[in-house]
Structure 1
Amino acid sequence: MNADPPAQGVKIARRITLKLGLIADDKPVKVTLELPASLHRDLTAYAEILAREAGQAAADPVRLIVPMLERFMATDRGFAKARRPPRY
């Protein structure tokens, strides 16, 4: 039986908490975009650290983009406020 990924980030032995937890194995949707090389290197490093701390093989760094965007939008107070219906 597969357990759901943790709701919060993965705790690392050095007391670092990553904002992302395990990446769910969802059906992918193809999106084409261009990333600066430095951002791709950072995504690759993040994927390697996440995999190492979770005891898994490194995921394709592109698979981090969606959970990172979801996490970013979920924690953006301005975005949440703007989405709320106006009060009358």
Structure 2
Amino acid sequence: MVKLKLGPLPDDKPVKVTLELPASLHRELVAYADILGHETGQPPGDPLRLIVPMLQRFMATDRAFQRLRRSHRAGV
């Protein structure tokens, strides 16, 4: 049997999450969406659509998280 270079594919199926936001955070998301729309020349979109890219950006730029994640992988 030939061994392929590609292993099992990860499950990339989106996960639905329901959460409650404090009203103040929702107001900040609305304001951010308005400013982003103005800066990009696009109409303001649904502020809840900002949550995923904000979380991705936060985790990608958290140096301590990245360092600990690498050390955890190396230890496994």
- Give yes or no for TM over 0.5: yes
Counterpart pick for 1:43 among 29, 33, 44: 29
Larger radius of gyration: 2
TM norm structure 1: 0.62
TM norm structure 2: 0.71
Q: Which has the higher contact order (CA 8 A, sep 6+)?
A: 1
Q: Report the CA distance shift for 1:56/1:29 in structure 2 as closer, same or farther (over 3 A).
A: farther
Give the superposed CA RMSD.
1.7
Counterpart of 1:70 in 2: which secondary structure?
Answer: helix
Q: Provide the rounded CA distance (Å) in 1 between the counterparts of 2:50 and 2:62.
A: 18
Q: Provide the rounded CA distance (Å) in 2 between the counterparts of 1:29 and 1:81.
A: 26
List runs of 5+ in structure 2 lacking aligned partners.
Answer: 1-13
Using the aligned pairs only, state the percent identity: 70
Higher strand share: 1
Higher helix share: 2
Q: Report the CA distance shift for 1:60/1:29 in structure 2 as closer, same or farther (over 3 A).
A: farther
Q: Provide the rounded CA distance (Å) in 1 between the counterparts of 2:18 and 2:66.
A: 27
